[in-house]
Structure 1
Amino acid sequence: MPTQPDYVRISNAFAAAITDGRLKPGDKLPTIAEMTERYSVGATTIKMVLLRLEARRLVRRHQGKGTFVEPREKWLLPEDDDEPSIEI
Protein backbone atom coordinates (compact mmCIF):
# COMPACT_ATOMS: atom_id res chain seq x y z
CA MET A 1 0.00 0.00 0.00
CA PRO A 2 1.42 3.42 -0.94
CA THR A 3 2.58 5.65 1.89
CA GLN A 4 1.80 8.86 0.00
CA PRO A 5 -1.59 10.07 -1.24
CA ASP A 6 -2.36 9.34 -4.89
CA TYR A 7 -2.17 12.99 -5.90
CA VAL A 8 1.37 13.26 -4.47
CA ARG A 9 2.60 10.08 -6.16
CA ILE A 10 1.08 11.03 -9.53
CA SER A 11 2.31 14.63 -9.43
CA ASN A 12 5.81 13.47 -8.43
CA ALA A 13 5.82 11.06 -11.36
CA PHE A 14 4.81 13.80 -13.79
CA ALA A 15 7.35 16.19 -12.26
CA ALA A 16 10.08 13.58 -12.74
CA ALA A 17 9.01 12.96 -16.35
CA ILE A 18 9.18 16.70 -17.01
CA THR A 19 12.47 17.40 -15.27
CA ASP A 20 14.27 14.41 -16.79
CA GLY A 21 13.11 15.28 -20.30
CA ARG A 22 10.62 12.48 -21.02
CA LEU A 23 8.02 15.26 -21.28
CA LYS A 24 9.38 18.30 -23.10
CA PRO A 25 8.35 21.97 -23.04
CA GLY A 26 5.21 22.37 -25.13
CA ASP A 27 4.14 18.73 -24.72
CA LYS A 28 0.46 18.32 -23.91
CA LEU A 29 -0.49 16.26 -20.86
CA PRO A 30 -3.36 13.77 -21.02
CA THR A 31 -6.82 15.12 -20.24
CA ILE A 32 -8.34 14.82 -16.77
CA ALA A 33 -10.64 12.08 -18.07
CA GLU A 34 -7.71 10.15 -19.54
CA MET A 35 -5.72 10.43 -16.32
CA THR A 36 -8.63 9.37 -14.10
CA GLU A 37 -8.97 6.23 -16.18
CA ARG A 38 -5.24 5.54 -16.47
CA TYR A 39 -4.53 5.93 -12.73
CA SER A 40 -7.90 4.70 -11.39
CA VAL A 41 -8.52 7.84 -9.34
CA GLY A 42 -11.22 10.50 -9.27
CA ALA A 43 -11.22 13.80 -11.13
CA THR A 44 -10.62 15.68 -7.87
CA THR A 45 -7.35 13.78 -7.39
CA ILE A 46 -6.19 14.69 -10.90
CA LYS A 47 -7.16 18.32 -10.38
CA MET A 48 -4.96 18.30 -7.27
CA VAL A 49 -2.13 16.80 -9.36
CA LEU A 50 -2.45 19.62 -11.88
CA LEU A 51 -2.58 22.26 -9.13
CA ARG A 52 0.67 20.91 -7.66
CA LEU A 53 2.36 20.90 -11.06
CA GLU A 54 1.11 24.44 -11.75
CA ALA A 55 2.34 25.64 -8.34
CA ARG A 56 5.80 24.36 -9.27
CA ARG A 57 5.45 26.11 -12.66
CA LEU A 58 6.08 22.86 -14.48
CA VAL A 59 2.84 23.12 -16.48
CA ARG A 60 0.34 25.72 -17.58
CA ARG A 61 -3.34 25.01 -18.14
CA HIS A 62 -5.16 26.68 -21.02
CA GLN A 63 -8.94 26.41 -20.71
CA GLY A 64 -10.39 24.55 -23.67
CA LYS A 65 -6.95 23.61 -25.02
CA GLY A 66 -5.25 21.46 -22.38
CA THR A 67 -2.30 21.37 -20.02
CA PHE A 68 1.18 21.94 -21.41
CA VAL A 69 4.73 21.56 -20.10
CA GLU A 70 6.38 24.91 -19.42
CA PRO A 71 9.93 25.87 -20.50
CA ARG A 72 12.67 24.95 -18.04
CA GLU A 73 13.41 28.59 -17.12
CA LYS A 74 9.95 28.89 -15.50
CA TRP A 75 10.26 25.81 -13.28
CA LEU A 76 10.53 26.01 -9.51
CA LEU A 77 12.62 23.43 -7.63
CA PRO A 78 10.76 20.22 -6.73
CA GLU A 79 9.03 20.14 -3.35
CA ASP A 80 10.61 16.82 -2.45
CA ASP A 81 13.07 14.29 -3.77
CA ASP A 82 10.82 11.23 -3.48
CA GLU A 83 11.17 8.77 -6.30
CA PRO A 84 7.93 8.36 -8.25
CA SER A 85 6.35 4.98 -7.72
CA ILE A 86 4.17 5.01 -10.84
CA GLU A 87 4.92 5.09 -14.54
CA ILE A 88 3.84 8.01 -16.71
Structure 2
Amino acid sequence: MPITADYIRIADEIVADIRAKRLKPGDKLPSIAQLAATHKVSPSTVKQTYVRLEALRVIWRHQGKGIFVNDPKLWMREP
Protein backbone atom coordinates (compact mmCIF):
# COMPACT_ATOMS: atom_id res chain seq x y z
CA MET A 1 0.00 0.00 0.00
CA PRO A 2 1.58 3.31 -1.06
CA ILE A 3 2.11 6.00 1.51
CA THR A 4 0.68 9.42 0.63
CA ALA A 5 2.71 12.48 1.54
CA ASP A 6 1.17 14.50 4.38
CA TYR A 7 0.77 17.64 2.26
CA ILE A 8 -1.21 15.70 -0.37
CA ARG A 9 -3.35 14.01 2.28
CA ILE A 10 -4.20 17.34 3.91
CA ALA A 11 -4.93 18.95 0.53
CA ASP A 12 -7.22 16.04 -0.34
CA GLU A 13 -9.07 16.49 2.97
CA ILE A 14 -9.64 20.19 2.24
CA VAL A 15 -10.91 19.40 -1.27
CA ALA A 16 -13.21 16.73 0.20
CA ASP A 17 -14.59 19.30 2.66
CA ILE A 18 -15.29 21.67 -0.23
CA ARG A 19 -16.99 18.95 -2.29
CA ALA A 20 -19.12 18.01 0.73
CA LYS A 21 -19.98 21.70 1.21
CA ARG A 22 -18.45 21.79 4.69
CA LEU A 23 -16.29 24.59 3.25
CA LYS A 24 -17.87 27.17 0.97
CA PRO A 25 -16.47 29.80 -1.41
CA GLY A 26 -15.03 32.67 0.57
CA ASP A 27 -14.55 30.65 3.77
CA LYS A 28 -11.29 31.47 5.51
CA LEU A 29 -8.95 28.54 6.05
CA PRO A 30 -6.86 28.08 9.20
CA SER A 31 -3.48 29.74 9.43
CA ILE A 32 -0.41 27.68 8.65
CA ALA A 33 0.37 27.35 12.36
CA GLN A 34 -3.19 26.31 13.23
CA LEU A 35 -3.42 23.68 10.50
CA ALA A 36 0.05 22.35 11.39
CA ALA A 37 -1.01 21.92 15.01
CA THR A 38 -4.31 20.29 14.05
CA HIS A 39 -2.64 17.73 11.79
CA LYS A 40 0.53 17.37 13.88
CA VAL A 41 2.80 18.25 10.97
CA SER A 42 5.43 20.92 10.42
CA PRO A 43 4.49 24.37 9.16
CA SER A 44 6.50 23.66 5.99
CA THR A 45 4.17 20.73 5.24
CA VAL A 46 1.15 23.03 5.50
CA LYS A 47 2.90 25.59 3.29
CA GLN A 48 3.31 22.82 0.67
CA THR A 49 -0.38 21.99 1.07
CA TYR A 50 -1.44 25.58 0.47
CA VAL A 51 0.98 26.00 -2.47
CA ARG A 52 -0.51 22.88 -4.07
CA LEU A 53 -4.10 24.06 -3.53
CA GLU A 54 -3.29 27.54 -4.80
CA ALA A 55 -1.70 26.10 -7.96
CA LEU A 56 -4.89 24.10 -8.53
CA ARG A 57 -6.94 27.29 -7.97
CA VAL A 58 -8.77 25.69 -5.03
CA ILE A 59 -7.73 28.53 -2.71
CA TRP A 60 -6.54 32.10 -2.98
CA ARG A 61 -4.46 34.23 -0.66
CA HIS A 62 -5.08 37.80 0.37
CA GLN A 63 -1.92 39.28 1.85
CA GLY A 64 -2.49 40.22 5.47
CA LYS A 65 -6.03 38.81 5.50
CA GLY A 66 -5.66 35.06 5.10
CA ILE A 67 -6.28 32.11 2.82
CA PHE A 68 -9.73 31.57 1.35
CA VAL A 69 -11.71 28.92 -0.53
CA ASN A 70 -12.11 29.74 -4.20
CA ASP A 71 -15.35 29.22 -6.12
CA PRO A 72 -15.42 25.52 -7.09
CA LYS A 73 -16.76 26.47 -10.54
CA LEU A 74 -13.26 27.76 -11.29
CA TRP A 75 -11.52 24.46 -10.59
CA MET A 76 -13.87 21.54 -9.94
CA ARG A 77 -14.89 19.24 -12.74
CA GLU A 78 -18.24 17.53 -12.68
CA PRO A 79 -18.00 13.76 -12.10
TM range (shorter): 0.7 to 0.9
> Identity over the aligned pairs, expressed in percent?
46
Partner of 2:54: 54
The answer to whether the 8 Å contact 1:32/1:47 transfers is yes
Equivalences, count: 76
**Which deviations, in whole Å up to 9, do the C-alpha atoms of 1:24-72 show, x marking residues without a partner?**
0010000011011111111110000001111111110111100000112
Q: Which one has the bigger helix percentage?
A: 2
- Higher relative contact order structure (alpha carbons within 8 Å, sequence separation ≥ 6): 1
Moved runs in structure 1, 4+ residues, more than 2 A? none
Where 1:4 maps in the other structure, the secondary structure is coil
Task: Give RMSD over aligned pairs.
Answer: 1.4
Equivalences for residues 55-74 of structure 1 within 5 A: 55-74=55-74
1:75: how far off? 1.2
Partner of 2:15: 15
For residues 20-31 of structure 1, what are the structure 2 equivalents within 5 Å?
Answer: 20-31=20-31
Please name the residue that 1:86 is paired with: none
Determine the C-alpha separation between the residues in 1 that align with 2:15 and 2:31: 16
SS at match of 1:68: strand
Gapped regions of structure 2 (runs ≥ 5): none
CA distance, structure 1, for counterparts of residue 3 and residue 45 of structure 2: 16
TM-superposed deviation, 1:20 = 2.2
